[in-house]
């Protein structure tokens, strides 16, 4: 059954700008890449801040993709994403983060639940969407996320988790006008190990972890630093 409509959006709902410690991408570059990839809707979801998305909104033109203001918060049980925000989220305990996103008028997403999270069976029923396609997860992790979403009857979303320009739009989903739910997965490329390594090395440089870089070498760093 074909359920597409003229109002459908082509979305990548998980992108990091240089306001994240592990990305060098400028908001302006993200917009250019998104436009080139044929996206009409992107969520910029920097770690701990909405500044990347807010800055990107300043560069929007008539032909730019729609910008969803988001952030990815490191909670006591793993990352939680808020979309459609107007303020930064200050909480860190997962229940408080969900409450604060909602009181901010936002939508709650559980990203890559089978990567670094604990307590996912308790969190899953509390969120609006579960990310079941993330380009930096493994196929098994994405399949686990899809099973979790099925078990808890949650709608699913897809995103690249891009930290480099080449990753923007590597995951694209058709979504409706009033929902972030994935109607059709249009592109689903996994990030290459060199893309992941480059942003992890970049993260070490940004955070001044020179000892880690020198001691471990780049490939060991790639295994040590969380994505």
Q: Give me the residues that bind Zn ion (CB under 5 A), please.
A: 72, 161
Task: Specify whether the CB–CB gap between 108 and 99 falls below 8 A.
Answer: no
Residue with nearest beta carbon to Zn ion: 161
CA distance 65 to 27: 12
Q: Are 173 and 165 in contact (CB under 8 A)?
A: no
Shortest Å distance, C-beta 206 to Zn ion = 15
The answer to whether 85 and 50 are in contact (CB under 8 A) is yes
Show the tokens assigned to 175.
Answer: 């979504």
Q: Whose Cβ is closer to Zn ion: residue 161's or residue 167's?
A: 161
Comparing CB distances to Zn ion, the nearer of 5 and 193 is: 193
CB nearer to Zn ion: give 72 or 100: 72
- Shortest Cβ distance from residue 225 to Zn ion (Å)? 13
Which pairing describes strands 107-110 and 129-134: parallel, antiparallel, or unpaired?
parallel
Closest approach of Cβ 129 to Zn ion, in Å? Answer: 15
Neighbours of 183 (CB within 10 A): 16
Q: How far is the CB of 155 from Zn ion (least distance, A)?
A: 19
Cβ proximity to Zn ion: between 8 and 37 the closer is 37
Task: Kindly state the smallest distance separating residue 208's Cβ from Zn ion, in Å.
Answer: 21
CB of 122 to Zn ion, least distance (A): 21
Rg of the chain, C-alpha, whole Å? 17
Q: How far apart are CA 146 and CA 154, in angstroms?
A: 9
Q: Which is nearer to Zn ion, 45 or 124 (CB)?
A: 45
**Closer CB to Zn ion, residue 14 or residue 177?**
14
Give rounded-to-5 percent helix, strand, coil for the chain: 35, 25, 40
Burial class, 95, CB count within 10 angstroms (exposed 0-12 / middle 13-18 / buried 19+): middle
As a whole number of angstroms, the distance between CA 125 and CA 185 comes to 23
Q: Closer CB to Zn ion, residue 12 or residue 72?
A: 72
Instruction: Please state at what angle helix 27-36 crosses helix 51-58, rounded to 10 degrees.
Output: 70
Residue 61 CB, nearest distance to Zn ion (Å)?
26
């Amino acid at each position: 059954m074909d359920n597409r409509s003229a109002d459908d959006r082509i979305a990548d709902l998980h992108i990091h700008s240089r306001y994240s410690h592990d990305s060098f991408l400028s908001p302006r570059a993200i917009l250019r890449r998104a436009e080139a990839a044929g996206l009409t809707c992107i969520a910029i979801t920097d770690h701990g801040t909405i500044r990347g998305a807010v800055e990107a909104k300043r560069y929007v033109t008539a032909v730019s993709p729609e910008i969803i203001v988001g952030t990815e918060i490191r909670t006591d049980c793993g990352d939680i994403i808020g979309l459609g925000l107007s303020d930064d989220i200050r909480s860190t305990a997962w229940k408080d983060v969900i409450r604060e996103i909602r009181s901010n008028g936002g939508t709650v997403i559980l990203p890559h639940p089978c990567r670094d999270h604990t307590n996912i069976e308790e969190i899953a029923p509390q969120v609006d969407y579960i990310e079941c396609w993330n380009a930096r997860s493994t196929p098994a992790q994405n399949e686990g996320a899809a099973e979790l979403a099925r078990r808890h009857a949650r709608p699913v979303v897809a995103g690249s988790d891009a930290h480099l320009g080449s990753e923007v739009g590597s995951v694209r989903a058709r979504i409706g006008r009033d929902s972030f739910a994935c109607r059709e997965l249009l592109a689903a490329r996994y990030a290459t190990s060199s893309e992941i390594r480059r942003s992890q090395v970049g993260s070490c440089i940004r955070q001044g972890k020179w000892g880690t870089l020198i001691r471990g070498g780049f490939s060991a760093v790639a295994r040590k630093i969380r994505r």
